[in-house]
Amino acid sequence: MKKKEVVYVVSDSVGETAEFVVKAVATQFNGGSVDIRRNSYVEDVEDIEDVLVLARQSNQSIIAYTIVIPQLKDYLDRRATEEGILAVDLLNPLMNAFEQKFEKPPNQQPGLMRQLDDDYFRKIEAIEFAVKYDDGRDPRGIVRSDIVLIGVSRTSKTPLSMYLAHKRYKVANVPLVPEVKPPDELFNVPRSKCVGLIISPDKLNEIRTERLKALGLTSQANYASFERILEELDYAEKIMKRVGCPVINVSNKAVEETASQILDILKSERSYT
């Protein structure tokens, strides 16, 4: 019975990249019927020797590797040649092309892809958090968040939450409405992670009027009336004073500008705690 082909995937990191490439190539041969054995976090010559011992046992084996540490790569190349084992470097040809074309040397540091992946997943987690705890839907998010934004309707709480989420901050936002009692959790969070958003009555009237028009409603609705706006702003100010949080006027600020100010404020607040 013919022995099954074996590919030893060797990496000084996780080895996912090498395994993916091997699988892609294997599908072109016998429907991908190849035994792939991953050897992750290879850190010294002893680890390489362990793989060579296994690969020597069959002439139907290949070593496919993604090793960026030069000493380990050179050692594997030399020893594989001595043992008559085919070893394929999956990174070096493209790395050399990058180096020649872009005229800059590689970092030669293992695990950088994993760091990028971790950073990506932190961002996704923060975005999902912002969606889940938007507009005060679940007060439990207040305690779990990195930043809590409070303010009346149309003070850019949601856009700010999403913008900050893309910077890996978990943000919850809570609307302040006179008829609705704020959640108790709001008064138990450290003031160093809460920010109040205020806006001028004229600007808020303008924004709310446009919002009503977009919804096909009359601009005379109570939502955009100055009397209602002043009532809401007065109520919000009282809540913010009770919380003791820093306050930002967003009247004529872009989301990016407000977000930068929020981070500056929180950084300075936390440096004193």
> What's the gap between Cα 64 and its chain centre?
30
Is 152 marked as binding a ligand? yes
> What's the gap between Cα 151 and its chain centre?
26
Residue 124 tokens, joined: 């996704």
Per-residue pLDDT averaged across 172-183, rounded?
96
Fold agreement (6-110, 117-271): yes
pLDDT tens for each residue of 91-119: 888 888 888 888 877 776 766 656 656 77
Report the amino acid identity of residue 71. Q
Closest CA to 84 of 45, 48, 55: 55
Q: Does domain 6-110 have CATH number 1.10.260?
A: no
Is 151 marked as binding a ligand? yes
| CA contacts within 13 A on the Cβ side of 261 | 16
Is 153 marked as binding a ligand? yes
**Is the pLDDT reported for residue 40 higher than 90?**
no
Whether the predicted model's global pTM rises above the 0.75 cut: no
Q: Does domain 117-271 have CATH number 3.30.70?
A: no
Q: Please, which pLDDT band fits residue 1 given cuts at 50, 70 and 90?
A: very low
Query: Which is more confident, 254 or 94?
Result: 254
| CA contacts within 13 A on the Cβ side of 227 | 3
Alpha-carbon distances, residue 243 vs 220, 240, 261, 265 (angstroms):
33, 5, 19, 16
* pLDDT (0 to 100) of residue 62: 94
Domain chopping of the chain, boundaries: 6-110, 117-271
Give phi and psi for 143, each to the nearest 5. Answer: -70, -35
Q: Can you tell me the distance from the alpha carbon of 84 to that of 59, in angstroms, rounded to the nearest whole number?
A: 9
